[in-house]
Amino acid sequence: MKTLKLMLILATVTMVAVSCGPKKEKQKVLVLYYSQTSNTKAVAEEIAARLDADMEEIVPVNPYDPDFKATIDRCLKDREEGIVTEIKPVAADIAKYDLIFIGYPVWFGTYAPPVATYLSQVNLSGKKVVPFCTFGSGGLESSVRDFNQQQPEAKIVASYGVRAARLKAMPKEIDQFLKENHFIEGEFVQLGEFSELEPVTEAEEAIFNAAVGDYPMMNAKAELVGSRDIPGGKEYLFLAVDLPREDNPDMPPAGEMKVYVNALDGQTPEFTNVVRQM
């Protein structure tokens, strides 16, 4: 009887010790971003709210004009003259954070100059980093490649990008992204692989043309396509070729590109990302 009592006491003590053990500390997260027109800011705010993260904006000393052409002209002029965009000091102490999200609009296929300046000033060695961006047609992959080259010792654990024209879809995509990459807990849709690429049919070509037809910066023809099921419809991966532009015959074709298109039931197809082949 004494032996049984002793065993019960020891079992109780063990259970108490386990239940009162140290809890896993919550990661300290920073969302750092530059936003010219508030699109990237909207993504930053969504991420920060979901992760209960600190947030800070990268601010250029000489702000960019919100006009698209004025921004392009200034960037080209700065490139020609070797002018580096000056930014105001960033207050956040990077050393205090376990995970850092860095956001930017894509300009000329990479992160905007204020973020380029920041990346040239900071040391992200050993830090877990998540680049995120907004863009007109694409640039996530190329900007992340440049990010890696600028900060080779940083640990890029995931990346996210969204077209500015699709910002309404962003909150739902961010939910999927954060859960899929285990930044937060919760159920998410496990997407399958794309089917093998095959020559496009007339119906698939019509889907492609409907998705890209209104976008003035792209003049392409779909050649091959794969697809997969997504909630509410299908996602297509088109392999397309850039065609000469009638409105600008001196502009050389950009070559092959991957074009991702969502075709949701009852909605006009829309492209979500363009990856130009290097």
**How is residue 273 written in tokens?**
């990302």
Whole-number Å distance between alpha carbons of 111 and 85: 12
Q: What is the pLDDT of residue 218?
A: 83
27 contacts 98 by C-beta, under 8 angstroms: yes
192 pLDDT tier (thresholds 50, 70, 90): very high
Nearest Cα to Cα of residue 234 among 181, 190, 194: 194
**How is residue 54 written in tokens?**
């600190």
101 pLDDT more than 50: yes
pLDDT tens column, 124-182: 999 999 999 999 999 999 999 999 999 999 999 999 999 999 999 999 999 999 999 99
273 pLDDT more than 90: yes
11 pLDDT tier (thresholds 50, 70, 90): very low
Q: What is the pLDDT of residue 252?
A: 55
Q: To the nearest whole number, what is the mean pLDDT of the chain?
A: 90
Phi/psi-derived region of residue 3, left when phi > 0, alpha when psi is between -120 and 50, beta in every other case: alpha
Q: Pairing state of beta strands 54-57 and 29-33?
A: parallel
Q: What is the pLDDT of residue 193?
A: 97
Q: What is the pLDDT of residue 167?
A: 97
Q: What is the pLDDT of residue 251?
A: 55
Q: What is the pLDDT of residue 216?
A: 83
Q: What is the pLDDT of residue 249?
A: 56
What residues does 261 pair with on adjacent strands? 236, 271
Nearest Cα to Cα of residue 62 among 47, 74, 72, 79: 74
Lowest mean pLDDT among 21-35, 129-143, 234-248: 21-35
Residue 157 CB partners (closer than 8 Å, separation 6+): 99, 128, 129, 130, 181
